[in-house]
Amino acid sequence: MIKYEQTICPYCSCGCGIYLTLKDGKIIGQEPWNEHPINEGGNCPKGRNAYQFLYAEDRLKTPLIRKKGKLVKASWDEAFDLITSKLKEAGPNEFGLLASGKNTNEDAYVEQKFTRVVMKTNNVEYCGRLCHSSTAAGLGPTVGSGVMPISQLDIEKADCFLLVGINPSETFPMMTRRILRAKKKGAKVIVLDPRNTVTARELGDVHLQLEPGTDVAVINAMMKIILDEEVENKEFIESRTTGFEALRDHLTNLDLLEMKEISGVATKDVKKAARWFAKARTGCVLYNQGLNQHITGSDGIKALATLALITGQYGRPGTGLCPTRGQINGEGTGDMGCLNVFYPGFQKVGTGAHEKFEKLWGVEDLPANPGLPYTKMIQQTKYLWVIGTNPMMAAPDIDNVQKDLEDKELLIVQDIFPTETAQLADIVLPASTWVEREGIHAYVDRRVQKINQIIDPPGEAKPDWWIICQIAERMGHKAQFDFSSPGEIFEEIRRCVPPYKGITYERLENTVGGIQWPCPAEDHPGTSTFFTQKFNTPDGLGHLQVVNFQPPAELPDAEYPYILTTGRSIFHYHTGTMSRRTPKLDAEVPSGFFQINPKDATKENIKRGTKVVLTTRRGSIEAEAHVTNEVPEGLVFLPFHFSEACANKITNPVLDPACGMPEYKVCAVRMEVSK
């Protein structure tokens, strides 16, 4: 019998609805779910091909244990016994766990609880470190919270958009849809991006095509123009912010010509953008990795938030800085405390959070000091458990990541495919995913939606939470991990994480489009707009930030004359684990490529399809050239989806000191045509 089952797309964090068509327990197709408020029946190419990866031939189906150098099939008991005996040998802070932006909140909650309660360390992180850690570091001091402050639905209410380092037409198409709707009503779109992306071309009314990594210079120039022309929102600055005098002094001393020299953007365009944004009734800022992934990522975000504050673009539907999460649970895994400095609900390590959770969990000696951030954890732990994340593709400077992972006393990889990281594991555990299990996710705008189990997992694959609980029990902590279903875990989450208190499984089943946290009570509708009365800072005010421009860590020179930047394509997803196993997406872009400007291509004797070796100080990779005006002269763009042309083999592992974000977006590179 044919049945249509509702679910939410497994790709980015928009949280679009789809119907899966089921026949005899197998998914045989998918159909538009027109009632879903986020996508109204439309999906992007990935969303239209959402389920095929589940049936890829190389799904992990049994535990694997490395014996005589080879991964061989093993039973769950065998794997559990080995893991337990090894982990019992781990010394203080020798253990680390990398969680996933793809797991459910229930999985993530159990993962951090295991790390803290059983292993007594705050060494728990997830891929959020690599995409939005600069958001937390930038927005925390400025407005007090690093979440999207509005509802996605309200994006279309804006009459001016500032898109900074984001290419939504490829990475968040449902947001582009709303921008297009706003444009029909006359909204202006300002695009800040070094690349002439499809977003810049099709949405942009003005494109500030800046030199990579010079966002702060452009944003400071915009603020200076706004103050010079007195189009700032004086009332908002007066009543809702603090630090204006220092900001004014700082901006007064800035030289617009110098800013132009640094960024390469014509001052007249910056002026146009500044005026549009300042005078907008509803100014919406969407930003992403192009701003975040720099050693100055958190600075850029502070400056951008300050720009929104002095123009009063905060606290109303459609306004404010919207960080765009790339993973279905990019928000939720962080909410659950899979971060080295946060207990669940962003209760900060070192502020007494451990004492609170000792009471809540009925345990003693919870760790009170921050754990290691993602990349340091790879380097410094002896026992590492990697769940649904693929640092062998995602972390910068892969050759060194490989050395570090090979040196581990114990490397457990829990995933759905034999990923590049799983190839190095001592133990591989097969996980069930998406509609093979039940649980909730928090999507980009804090929108909590539930995924129901629709099909059986392959082979002996198990839900992440179940695997963790089994190990916890064997490590002697049954009392704290005595969960028999995700629903039981969720009830504990509701008790321990206040913003989730009013959300129940039953409410989620009956609320198409989910509920936006914070939701303090079961009769509370959820919160779509933040900061309407005050900011989440201790004094409730927006703290205007003074930020100086600093250049990226590694710029071109005679030996490495081009800038390399990395990013994504609409047809693929992150490290390619899912999308490259989806035949239609694979057919669109079957192999690794890089973009080069026609003038540079001529200079280097490169044509479309030429195989080229790209070399940085970290190493070399080979990729096929796409000659296109999408990149300006001097810039090379390399997507990071492809293991055969692994971008992160050659990216620079230097970190933003404020948050541990690697500078994926700029390093120096040279090119040689392959022989």
Partner 1 sequence: MSGIMYLARSSDPKVLEKAESGGAVTSLLRFLLETGKVDGVVTAKARNGNRYAGVPVLITEPEELIDSAGSLHCSIPNIPRFVKEYLDGAMKMKLAVVGKPCDIRALIELQKREQIDLDNLILIGLNCTGTISPTTAKQMFIDEFKVNPNEVIREDIDEGKLLVMLEDGTTKSLDLMKLEEKGYGRRENCRRCEINIPIFADLACGKWGTEDEEERATFIEACSDKGRLLVEEAIERGFITAERPDKKSIKKREEKDNAEKELAELWKERDFKPILDLDLSKRLEYWLNEFNKCIKCYGCRDACPICFCDHCLLEASRGFLEGGEIPPDTVFPLTRLAHVADSCVNCGQCQDACPMDLPLSKLFSLLNARLNEVFGYMPGIDVDQKQPLSAVIMEELQVEDTFLDISSINKALQSKSSKRD
Query: Which residues contact partner 1 (rule: CB under 8 A)?
Result: 1-2, 4, 6, 19, 21, 23, 28-29, 31-37, 39-45, 47-48, 169-170, 173-174, 176-177, 180-181, 198, 202, 512, 569-571, 583-584, 587-590
CB of 124: closest distance to partner 1 in angstroms? 36
The residue among 33 and 236 lying less far from partner 1, judged by its C-beta, is 33
CB of 589: closest distance to partner 1 in angstroms? 4
The residue among 31 and 229 lying less far from partner 1, judged by its C-beta, is 31
CB of 191: closest distance to partner 1 in angstroms? 15
SS3 assignment, position 178: helix
Taking the CA atoms of residue 124, residue 126, residue 128 and residue 131 in that order, the dihedral angle to the nearest 10 degrees is 120
Q: What are phi and psi of 198, to 5 degrees?
A: -60, -30
CB of 169: closest distance to partner 1 in angstroms? 7
Q: Which residues contact 70 (CB under 8 A, 6 or more apart)?
A: none
* Residue 35 CB neighbour total at 10 angstroms: 12
The residue among 403 and 611 lying less far from partner 1, judged by its C-beta, is 611
Long-range contacts, 1-6 (Cβ 8 Å, 24+): 4/31, 5/435, 5/452, 5/454, 6/33, 6/452
Helix axes 215-228, 244-252, angle to 10 degrees: 100
Q: Are 444 and 326 in contact (CB under 8 A)?
A: no
Can you tell me the distance from the alpha carbon of 653 to that of 622, in angstroms, rounded to the nearest whole number? Answer: 20
CB of 569: closest distance to partner 1 in angstroms? 7
End-to-end Cα, the chain, rounded Å: 57
CB of 149: closest distance to partner 1 in angstroms? 22
Instruction: At 494, list the tokens.
Output: 């509701």
CB of 1: closest distance to partner 1 in angstroms? 7
CB of 269: closest distance to partner 1 in angstroms? 22
Query: Counting beta carbons within 10 angstroms of the beta carbon of residue 622, is it exposed (0 to 12), middle (13 to 18) or buried (19 or more)?
Result: middle
- Bridge partners of residue 410, in order along the sequence: 383
The residue among 608 and 617 lying less far from partner 1, judged by its C-beta, is 608
CB of 452: closest distance to partner 1 in angstroms? 12
Per-residue buried b or exposed e for 356-371, using 16+ beta carbons within 10 Å of the residue's own CB: bbbeebebeebbeeeb
Can you tell me the distance from the alpha carbon of 292 to that of 629, in angstroms, rounded to the nearest whole number? Answer: 24
* Residue 613 CB neighbour total at 10 angstroms: 14
The residue among 44 and 117 lying less far from partner 1, judged by its C-beta, is 44
The residue among 8 and 405 lying less far from partner 1, judged by its C-beta, is 8
> What DSSP state is assigned to residue 115?
I
Q: Which residues contact 110 (CB under 8 A, 6 or more apart)?
A: 464, 465, 468, 469, 472, 481, 483, 489
SS3 assignment, position 27: strand
The residue among 47 and 662 lying less far from partner 1, judged by its C-beta, is 47
CB of 510: closest distance to partner 1 in angstroms? 8
Taking the CA atoms of residue 13, residue 17, residue 23 and residue 24 in that order, the dihedral angle to the nearest 10 degrees is 60
The residue among 417 and 571 lying less far from partner 1, judged by its C-beta, is 571
The residue among 81 and 522 lying less far from partner 1, judged by its C-beta, is 522
The residue among 19 and 594 lying less far from partner 1, judged by its C-beta, is 19
* Residue 246 CB neighbour total at 10 angstroms: 12
CB of 23: closest distance to partner 1 in angstroms? 7
CB of 520: closest distance to partner 1 in angstroms? 22
Q: Which stretches does DSSP call E strand in 432-474?
A: 439-442, 447-451
The residue among 35 and 539 lying less far from partner 1, judged by its C-beta, is 35
**Which DSSP helix (H) or strand (E) runs through 148?**
none
Can you tell me the distance from the alpha carbon of 302 to that of 216, in angstroms, rounded to the nearest whole number? Answer: 9
Q: Which stretches does DSSP call E strand in 437-510?
A: 439-442, 447-451
The residue among 421 and 566 lying less far from partner 1, judged by its C-beta, is 566
Diameter of the chain by CA atoms? 72
